Amino acid sequence: MPDPALGDYNILGIRNDICFDRFGRYGPYGLGYSAQEGGTGEGLDTERSGSEVVWSKTGKIDYTNVDWGDAQERCVARNQHRFVNETDEVRDPTLGPAKGIQKLERTAVLVRTYVGFRWTQHVILNFRAMIAELALKSGGEYTLHFLLHVKN
């Protein structure tokens, strides 16, 4: 597999020996089923051979009323014990590695957008995947924030 043009598989612990087709990659986030079913409505007019396999275990997820900010907050709250917080003592690094359970730092991922940005269904699929795979799958180690640039 070629190296990615942007980013790095190793940073996020993603395997680099797997390829996805469009339904395998974005089907879980609403590609290939209608907006009435909670999907995006994209991919309905294309060749769809084998796409039903994607939903064979989970079914088609209705994303109509998903509050992604709330999902991230609940995920962090449920996993708070895994992360360093402001009341934890800062350890002197010259003492060597600490013994016992190591708490993790959290990372904010900032996505800058602007008023008038065109929110296509493909963009929505990408952001659903990014939130689910970075923030939720990591158990809150990452949180996505959208910065909205308001032009005067």
Residue 88: predicted pLDDT = 66
| Domain enclosing residue 78, as ranges | 66-86+103-152
Same domain, yes or no: 60 and 132: no
**Mean pLDDT confidence for 50-63:** 86
Same domain, yes or no: 72 and 44: no
Same domain, yes or no: 126 and 149: yes
What residues contact 101, with CB distance under 8 A and at least 6 apart? none
**Mean pLDDT confidence for 129-141:** 94
Same domain, yes or no: 60 and 13: yes
Residue 91 within any structural domain of the chain: no
Q: What digits encode the pLDDT tens for the residues 8-56?
A: 778 777 788 877 778 888 999 999 999 999 999 998 888 878 788 888 8
90, pLDDT greater than 70: no
Of 145, 142, 130, nearest to 76 by C-alpha is: 142
CA distance 91 to 102: 11
Same domain, yes or no: 7 and 34: yes
Binning pLDDT at 50, 70 and 90, where does residue 91 land?
A: low
Total residues found in the chain within this entry? 152
Residue 7: predicted pLDDT = 75
Residue 93 within any structural domain of the chain: no
**Mean pLDDT confidence for 85-106:** 73
Same domain, yes or no: 76 and 54: no
Same domain, yes or no: 14 and 61: yes
One-letter amino acid at 134 equals L
For the ranges 51-60, 91-100, 101-110, the lowest mean pLDDT is seen at: 91-100
Of 122, 138, 132, 126, nearest to 71 by C-alpha is: 132
**Domain total of the chain:** 2
Same domain, yes or no: 74 and 50: no
Instruction: Give 7 or 149, the one with higher predicted confidence.
Output: 149
